[in-house]
Chain A
Amino acid sequence: MIRHKTLKIVLTILMSFVLFGSFLYTRNAAGFPGESSRIMFFHVPQAWVAVMAFSLSMVFSVIYLKKRDVRYDMLAVSSSELGFLFCILAMLTGSMFARLTWGSFWNWDPRETSILILLMIYGAYFALRSAVNDQDDKRKFSAVYSLLAFATVPFFIFIVPRITISLHPSDTMNPMNPQLDFRFMLVFILALVAFTGIFFWMLSLKYRWLQLEEKFNRMDTSWDLD
């Protein structure tokens, strides 16, 4: 978790470099129409963070089911929420890329459809959490659902786009791709690091917030905190 001030400052500098570098330091990658290759600095890291967040949510859910420690449920729900957010961002940037390359924001391409189904599956996770009133049941049901939901992630992200005909480029960000130069790969890798860092920072904030809520609920609410 990111709690150290220096780490946050380093992350801010890194993010600034990615923001400026993606437009001012890099050239357009060959094989991409117009300036569309610059979307890769945002779209791919956001998709990566979404998959990582859903994986972490599944891991925390397993630990919760094993230990029945509320802190792991907090981490699982925080991770799912952030995964959902980054999944929406990846879908938005992906549809911008689709508009530039395929002429339309939405094409019902297998990749687009599978990310939409994934969003609905995780949307149901939040619906389930809000539908159960008993706290223990809520945590238990949502942890089990998180495991089931994650089972679909590899299928929708990695398998469906590969067994169907997709417009989505498959190996453009491979470091061995000769169309990508050093500067492009440098900014891309730093973007991956920066977005991962931002995710862990957000996760730590959300987790601390849920812990505060829990503590506050246990306290006498008549205490004046102002």
Chain B
Amino acid sequence: MGSGLIIIFTVNIVIWTGIVLYLFHIDRKIGKLERKIEKTSREN
């Protein structure tokens, strides 16, 4: 691989790994919020 290709490869890996990790993070947050809203509406 040429140096240009290595840079594109690394950038691509960083971007898509970031996106997937962010999706996991958001998924967990939404799950937590869903449970909280469910619990709050049951209590009220």
Contacts and interface: CB of A to CB of B under 8 A. Distances in A.
* A associates with B: yes
Nearest to A12: B20
B37 A212 contact: yes
A19 B12 contact: yes
Interface residues of B, number: 22
Contact of B26 (A23, A35, A205, A219): A205
Interface string B4-44: 01000100110011011001101100100110110011001
Contacts of A225: 33, 36-37, 40
A102 to B, nearest CB: 18
A205 to B, nearest CB: 6
Instruction: State the main secondary structure of chain B at its contact with A.
Output: helix
A19 B23 contact: no
Contact of A23 (B1, B17, B34): B1
B37 A215 contact: yes
Nearest to A211: B34
A216 interface: yes
A194 B26 CA distance: 19
Interface size class of A (residues with CB under 8 A): 20 to 34
Interface string A29-70: 000000100000010000000000000000000000000000
A201 B9 CA distance: 24
A158 interface: no
A208 B30 contact: yes
Interface of A: 8, 11-12, 15, 19-20, 23, 35, 42, 198, 201-202, 205, 208-209, 212, 215-216, 219-220, 223, 225
Top 10 A-B residue pairs of the complex, sorted by shortest distance between their CB atoms: A23-B9, A208-B30, A225-B36, A223-B40, A35-B5, A19-B13, A12-B20, A215-B37, A205-B26, A19-B16
Given A8-B27, A15-B20, 18 more contacts: A11-B20, A19-B13, A19-B17, A23-B9, A23-B12, A198-B19, A198-B23, A205-B26, A205-B27, A205-B30, A208-B30, A212-B34, A215-B41, A219-B40, A219-B41, A223-B44, A225-B33, A225-B36
Interface of B: 1-2, 5, 9, 12-13, 16-17, 19-20, 23-24, 26-27, 30, 33-34, 36-37, 40-41, 44
8 contacts: A8-B23, A11-B20, A19-B16, A23-B1, A42-B12, A216-B37, A220-B44, A225-B37
